Amino acid sequence: MAKRQAAARAAQRSSSMNAVPDSCDVVVIGGGPAGSLAATYLTGKGYSVVLFERQKHPRYQVGESLLPDVWKYCDAAGVSDAIAAEGFLRKAGGSVDWNGEMRRLSFGDFGYTRPALHVERDRFDSILLERARASGAWIGEEIAVLEADLSRAGDNESEVSVSYRPVGEASASRIRCRYVVDASGQTGVIGRQLGLRVFDEGFRFMSVWGYFANSSYLAADGLIYPAQSVRQVPPTTYVSALPQGDGWAWLWHIMLRETTSIGLVIPKAWASETKGSAESWEAWYLKQCRALPLLQRLLADATFCEGSLRLVRNYSYRSSQVAGPGFFLLGDAAGFVDPIFSVGVVFSMYSAYAAAHTIDRCFRQRARRDEHRSIFSSQVQARLELSRSLALPYYQATDAGHARAREAMGFSSMQAQALMYAASLLTDRSGNFDSMADSPHAHRAAAERVRPLNIPLE
Ligand SMILES: Cc1cc2nc3c(=O)[nH]c(=O)nc-3n(C[C@H](O)[C@H](O)[C@H](O)COP(=O)(O)OP(=O)(O)OC[C@H]3O[C@@H](n4cnc5c(N)ncnc54)[C@H](O)[C@@H]3O)c2cc1C
């Protein structure tokens, strides 16, 4: 352990001198929540870590609505005080308008004592990355990882080499390590290299989103408040089904400190049928926003932030394998389904925690590496399967998939089970979820906490 701590200190010294070390225990690809937390947890266990991030923080990222569970992972990384000091907006719960039925839930009703958050991800992710740096990880921003050589990873002394290139430079270099952690998000460096990514052919969705200034919002009491009240009266995340798209399409409305994030999640076919070839995505998006009476009301005094429109296709996939000799896939690099229940960032943090624990076990008990990896794989795959069961309306679990999702459910606290079950009651996308939850207590507790929302639409 002393040797490792010395190596970690050497990596840290090297960071301040700006030279990439030649070797380390673990290379982390990507400085999003998954990568930064994995680096922090691993340095905390005494390992030397080099993290490459191809962008410069603060960098833009979508995914602004966070569940209260993020706090337990932030506590474990020692970063909760810095997150709390930033003053992100507290989110009180969810307000959902699904095919004419309006309902709401409040996290407080499920016994959560710490708030869910609405965060500007550039700031949130920067705080996590700075924590990783302070913990002793060597952080290389604007350095892109190209690929990993895993051909000797199965050997007794697992040896991996990772090639990287600073942005704007022509030549690549290599670093040696024992394990590589792929937290590169949707890029999925290793998943793509090894052909592990499986796209959900039936889930042909895309998302288009942008930002408004001065939008009103819905609070947990079911009332509408002006933007100026957002610090006094916490907002909910407002979600609504869209009238088009066979009941699958939906939108989000997330209040941030200065702006509001509003996004549409829609079948690709519907977008191509309804958008004229000469029409811009921005014009099409604004037209859809205006078509919903409640959203129109929230946006009555709002202005669109010019140039803020963004779009993503093919964001829903999983990996046939999330760990193998010498590598681990975390967060979005392992898989992502759909943003409807805001589980992306929590899943990234969970997988970072699980990977750090597993890598530590693999270093300490080499003879049992396969067993440790297999536990990591089955737990991460089970979580992904649970997300699929919650988010995919047509979800047809295979026997193995169903068993995995039930296993993840079984590992969740009663509080988390009740919240998941309640979330599944808010829309009709999760009809299959009933068969997932074992506990009648969680069912009852959830159903009692979903309240009607009475907002006159005129
Ligand atoms: C439309 C949409 C809405 C969403 N809304 C929510 C939400 O409300 N709440 C929520 O919790 N989640 C949401 N998500 C999901 C959330 O954005 C992700 O789950 C989360 O950002 C994943 O974190 P991560 O650390 O795995 O990856 P990321 O945050 O994507 O970080 C990956 C990092 O890796 C870097 N990188 C990529 N390639 C390389 C390379 N070759 N070398 C070095 N670095 C590299 C990237 O620059 C990036 O900084 C949403 C997703 C989508 C698509």
DSSP-assigned states of every residue in 388-437: HHHH-TT----HHHHHHHHHHHHHS-HHHHHHHHHHHHHSSTTGGGGGT-
74 and 94: one domain?
A: yes
To test the ligand 1 pocket, which listed residue (318, 345, 350) has its Cβ within 8 A of the most ligand atoms?
345
Q: Which residues, other chains included, contact 418 with Cβ-Cβ below 8 Å and sequence gap of 6+?
A: 110, 442, 445, 446, 449
CB-count exposure of residue 324 (10 Å: 0-12, 13-18, 19+): middle
Residue 431 has pLDDT above 90, yes or no: no
Question: Does the pLDDT at position 213 exceed 90?
Answer: yes
Decide if 427 is inside a domain: no
In a domain, 433, yes or no: no
Please tell me the predicted confidence (pLDDT) of residue 387. 84
User: Pick from 313, 331, 361: which residue ends a domain?
Assistant: 313
Q: What is the pLDDT of residue 393?
A: 67
Mutate which of 27, 40, 53, 309 to test ligand 1's pocket (most atoms within 8 Å of Cβ)? 53
User: Is the CB of residue 132 below 6 angstroms from any atom belonging to ligand 1?
Assistant: no
Average pLDDT across the chain, whole number:
89
Residue 16: the pLDDT is 46
The single-letter code of the amino acid at 333 is A
pLDDT, tens digit, for every residue of 125-176? 999 999 999 999 999 999 999 999 999 998 777 799 999 999 999 999 999 9
User: 440: pLDDT confidence band, cut at 50, 70 and 90?
Assistant: low
- Does residue 27 share a domain with residue 115? no
Out of 51, 126, 308, 332, mutate this one to test ligand 1's pocket (max ligand atoms within 8 Å of CB): namely 332
Instruction: Give pTM, 2 decimals.
Output: 0.93
47 and 99 assigned to the same domain: no
Specify whether 304 is located in the same domain as 216. Answer: yes
Shared domain check, 275 and 237:
yes
- Cα(383)–Cα(442) distance, integer angstroms: 18
Coil, strand or helix at 378: helix
Ligand 1 atom closest to 237 (CA): 8
Ligand 1 neighbour 187 (Cβ under 6 A): yes
Q: Check pLDDT > 90 for residue 201.
A: no
Residue 449 domain flag:
no
Is-contact 352 330, C-beta < 8 A? yes
Distances (CA, A) of 71 to 77, 122, 194, 255, 352: 10, 18, 33, 20, 14
Is pLDDT at 457 greater than 70 in this prediction?
A: no
411 located within any domain? no
Cβ neighbours of residue 165 closer than 8 Å, sequence gap 6 or more: 143, 144, 146, 171, 172, 173
Checking 398-403 for CB contacts under 8 A at 24+ apart, the result is 402/435, 402/436
CATH of the domain at 194: 3.50.50.60
Count of CB atoms situated within 10 Å of the CB of 108: 14
* Cα three-residue angle 222-228-230, rounded to 5 degrees: 50
Give me the pLDDT at residue 458, please: 46
Please report, for the domain that includes residue 287, its CATH number: 3.30.9.100
**Do residues 114 and 239 both lie within one domain?**
yes
Residue 276, domain extent: 65-119+204-313
Task: List CB contacts of 262: < 8 A, sequence separation 6 or more.
Answer: 209, 210, 211, 212, 215, 251, 252, 253, 254, 289, 295
Q: Is residue 21 lining ligand 1, measured as CB closer than 6 Å?
A: no
Nearest alpha-carbon partner for 250 in 162, 339, 356: 339
Ligand 1 centroid to residue 322 C-alpha, Å:
17
Is 270 within the bounds of a domain?
yes
Choosing from 313, 329, 359, the residue where a domain stops is 313
Question: Rounded CA gap, 446 and 347, in Å?
Answer: 22
- Distance between CA atoms of residues 308 and 304, nearest Å: 8
Are both 138 and 260 inside the same structural domain?
Answer: no
Nearest CA to ligand 1 atom 39: 184
244 inside domain: yes
Tell me how many degrees the CA angle 212-216-217 measures, rounded to the nearest 5: 105
Residue 386, in any domain of the structure = no
Is residue 421 in a domain?
no
Domain end, chosen from 283, 313, 343, is at: 313
In Å, what is the CA distance from 454 to each residue of 202, 222, 294?
A: 35, 7, 12
Q: How confident is the model at residue 375 (pLDDT cuts 50, 70, 90)?
A: very high
Same domain, 208 and 339: no
332 within ligand 1 shell (Cβ under 6 A): yes
Per-residue pLDDT tens digits for 104-125: 888 888 889 999 999 999 999 9
The mean per-residue pLDDT over the stretch 431-453 comes to 70
Angstrom distance (rounded) from CA 306 to CA 211: 8
- 322 vs 123: CA distance, rounded Å: 28
Q: Assign 60 to helix, strand or coil.
A: coil
Whether residues 103 and 133 fall in one domain: no
User: Do 208 and 252 lie in a common domain?
Assistant: yes
CB atoms within 10 A of CB 235: 27
Phi-psi region at 336: left, alpha or beta (left = phi > 0; alpha = psi -120 to 50) = beta
pLDDT digits (tens, 9 = 90+) for 335-371: 998 888 888 999 999 999 999 999 999 999 999 999 9
Task: Give distance in angstroms: CA of 239 to centre of ligand 1.
Answer: 21
Share of the chain above pLDDT 90, in %: 65
Which protein residue has the closest C-alpha to ligand 1 atom 17? 63
Task: Say if residue 211 is in the same domain as residue 180.
Answer: no
Do 298 and 249 share a domain, yes or no? yes
Give the model confidence (pLDDT) of 379-429 as tens digits: 999 999 888 877 776 666 666 777 787 778 777 887 888 888 888 888 877
Q: What is the distance in A from the centroid of ligand 1 to the CA of 452?
A: 33
* Number of domains present in the structure of the chain: 2
